Amino acid sequence: GENVEQHPSTLSVQEGDSAVIKCTYSDSASNYFPWYKQELGKRPQLIIDIRSNVGEKKDQRIAVTLNKTAKHFSLHITETQPEDSAVYFCAPNQAGTALIFGKGTTLSVSS
Protein backbone atom coordinates (compact mmCIF):
# COMPACT_ATOMS: atom_id res chain seq x y z
CA GLY A 1 0.00 0.00 0.00
CA GLU A 2 0.90 3.65 -0.16
CA ASN A 3 3.24 5.02 2.54
CA VAL A 4 2.74 8.78 2.84
CA GLU A 5 4.82 11.16 4.93
CA GLN A 6 4.49 14.90 5.36
CA HIS A 7 7.13 17.30 6.61
CA PRO A 8 7.17 19.32 8.69
CA SER A 9 4.37 18.32 11.06
CA THR A 10 4.12 21.91 12.32
CA LEU A 11 5.18 25.15 10.69
CA SER A 12 5.07 28.67 12.08
CA VAL A 13 5.65 31.69 9.87
CA GLN A 14 5.21 35.44 10.00
CA GLU A 15 2.54 37.02 7.85
CA GLY A 16 3.95 37.71 4.39
CA ASP A 17 6.53 34.91 4.54
CA SER A 18 6.42 31.83 2.31
CA ALA A 19 5.59 28.33 3.52
CA VAL A 20 6.54 25.01 1.97
CA ILE A 21 5.17 21.60 2.94
CA LYS A 22 6.63 18.43 1.46
CA CYS A 23 4.90 15.10 0.90
CA THR A 24 6.78 11.90 0.10
CA TYR A 25 5.14 8.73 -1.12
CA SER A 26 6.22 5.19 -1.80
CA ASP A 27 4.07 3.96 -4.67
CA SER A 28 5.69 4.79 -8.02
CA ALA A 29 2.34 4.13 -9.74
CA SER A 30 0.76 7.14 -8.00
CA ASN A 31 -0.54 9.56 -10.61
CA TYR A 32 -2.74 12.08 -8.78
CA PHE A 33 -1.45 14.48 -6.13
CA PRO A 34 -3.94 16.68 -4.25
CA TRP A 35 -3.60 18.97 -1.26
CA TYR A 36 -6.46 19.53 1.20
CA LYS A 37 -6.85 22.33 3.75
CA GLN A 38 -8.77 21.91 7.00
CA GLU A 39 -9.43 25.02 9.04
CA LEU A 40 -10.15 24.61 12.73
CA GLY A 41 -13.57 23.06 13.26
CA LYS A 42 -14.28 22.77 9.54
CA ARG A 43 -14.28 20.05 6.92
CA PRO A 44 -11.27 19.39 4.65
CA GLN A 45 -11.41 21.09 1.25
CA LEU A 46 -9.35 20.56 -1.87
CA ILE A 47 -7.15 23.58 -2.56
CA ILE A 48 -4.97 22.38 -5.43
CA ASP A 49 -4.10 19.19 -7.26
CA ILE A 50 -1.70 18.03 -9.94
CA ARG A 51 -1.48 15.02 -12.20
CA SER A 52 1.62 13.08 -13.12
CA ASN A 53 2.00 14.55 -16.59
CA VAL A 54 2.51 18.05 -15.13
CA GLY A 55 5.47 19.28 -13.06
CA GLU A 56 3.98 22.40 -11.52
CA LYS A 57 0.64 24.11 -11.10
CA LYS A 58 -0.14 27.55 -9.67
CA ASP A 59 -3.33 29.14 -8.40
CA GLN A 60 -2.79 32.67 -7.13
CA ARG A 61 -0.69 32.38 -3.95
CA ILE A 62 -0.52 28.59 -3.87
CA ALA A 63 1.42 26.21 -6.06
CA VAL A 64 2.21 22.52 -6.17
CA THR A 65 5.40 21.04 -7.60
CA LEU A 66 5.95 17.37 -8.39
CA ASN A 67 9.13 15.35 -8.59
CA LYS A 68 8.10 11.86 -9.71
CA THR A 69 11.66 10.56 -9.85
CA ALA A 70 12.21 11.35 -6.19
CA LYS A 71 8.57 10.53 -5.32
CA HIS A 72 7.66 13.72 -3.59
CA PHE A 73 5.49 16.77 -4.18
CA SER A 74 5.30 20.06 -2.34
CA LEU A 75 2.78 22.75 -1.49
CA HIS A 76 4.05 26.31 -1.72
CA ILE A 77 2.16 29.23 -0.20
CA THR A 78 3.51 32.72 -0.85
CA GLU A 79 2.67 35.95 0.97
CA THR A 80 1.03 34.03 3.80
CA GLN A 81 -1.95 35.53 5.59
CA PRO A 82 -3.57 34.67 8.94
CA GLU A 83 -6.42 32.91 7.11
CA ASP A 84 -3.88 30.43 5.74
CA SER A 85 -3.58 29.02 9.27
CA ALA A 86 -4.94 25.48 9.05
CA VAL A 87 -3.96 21.84 8.80
CA TYR A 88 -2.83 20.79 5.32
CA PHE A 89 -3.03 17.21 4.09
CA CYS A 90 -1.50 15.59 1.04
CA ALA A 91 -3.18 12.53 -0.46
CA PRO A 92 -1.22 10.94 -3.32
CA ASN A 93 -3.11 8.11 -4.89
CA GLN A 94 -2.70 5.37 -7.42
CA ALA A 95 -5.40 5.04 -10.01
CA GLY A 96 -8.16 2.76 -8.81
CA THR A 97 -7.61 3.24 -5.09
CA ALA A 98 -9.22 5.55 -2.55
CA LEU A 99 -7.21 8.52 -1.33
CA ILE A 100 -4.74 7.81 1.48
CA PHE A 101 -3.98 10.96 3.45
CA GLY A 102 -0.78 12.04 5.15
CA LYS A 103 -0.87 12.89 8.86
CA GLY A 104 -1.11 16.59 8.19
CA THR A 105 0.94 19.75 8.69
CA THR A 106 -0.30 22.43 11.05
CA LEU A 107 0.52 25.86 9.63
CA SER A 108 0.33 28.88 11.92
CA VAL A 109 0.63 32.36 10.44
CA SER A 110 1.18 35.13 12.93
CA SER A 111 0.58 38.78 12.17
- Interface residues with another protein (CB under 8 A) are 1, 9, 31-32, 34, 36, 42-46, 49, 51, 89, 93, 95-96, 98-104
Q: CB of 98: closest distance to another protein in angstroms? A: 4
Which sign, positive or negative, has the C-alpha torsion 20, 23, 29, 35? negative
Q: CB of 76: closest distance to another protein in angstroms? A: 20
Q: CB of 72: closest distance to another protein in angstroms? A: 17
Find, among 82, 95, 96, the residue nearest to 19 by Cα: 82
User: Which residue, 101 or 108, is less far from another protein as judged by CB?
Assistant: 101
Residue 55 zone, left/alpha/beta (φ > 0; ψ -120 to 50; rest): alpha
